[in-house]
Amino acid sequence: MVPRSKLSQSDRNGGHVMDQTLFTLPILPGKTEAARAFLQEMDGPRKQELAACGQSVGIAKEVWAIQQTPRGDVFVAYMAGEDIAQAFRQVAASESEFDCWFKQQVQETTGADLNTPPPGPVSEILVDCET
């Protein structure tokens, strides 16, 4: 892991400075359709639960995508909030129904266990430009 960038994002709703991160999670072979269904559920019937989870841990913005690569499909995620590392720790420790479902879906599609937060910063943001 590389150190998290010292750069931050300005919130367009008042100039509040936020922490931010980007990361990828490789999707297991044969699990792309399950991964897509997971994201569609988060953007559909579970969107309010996703927003409530984010709000409870200080995540102001969360974006998930699937990217095809020559080595296989990956989740690409972006998050902005008060303290991303703390938010990851809170989700890891959470036993709420939504958080357990979310962690289970990530583990089933990627093999990543979100019950154990990453040991260090997730990404090093080197360019951050708003126009």
The band of 17, judged by pLDDT with boundaries at 50, 70 and 90, is low
Residue 54 lies in a domain: yes
Q: What pTM, to 2 d.p., does this model score? A: 0.83
| 80 in Cβ contact with 10 (< 8 Å) | no
Distance from C-alpha of 20 to C-alpha of 4, rounded to nearest angstrom: 9
Q: Is 17 exposed, middle or buried (0-12, 13-18, 19+ CB in 10 A)?
A: exposed
pLDDT at 11 over 60: no
Residue 49 lies in a domain: yes
Domain encompassing residue 58: 29-110
The 10s digit of each residue's pLDDT in 53-102 is 999 999 999 999 999 999 999 999 999 999 999 999 999 999 999 999 99
Residue 24 lies in a domain: no
* Closest to 77 in 3D by CA, of 126, 110, 116: 110
Residue 92 lies in a domain: yes
Residue 2 lies in a domain: no
* Closest to 74 in 3D by CA, of 116, 120, 29: 29
The interaxial angle of helices 97-110 and 47-57, nearest 10 deg, is 100
Distance of CA 130 to the CA centre of its chain: 21
Structure letter (DSSP) for residue 27: P
Number of domain units in the chain: 1
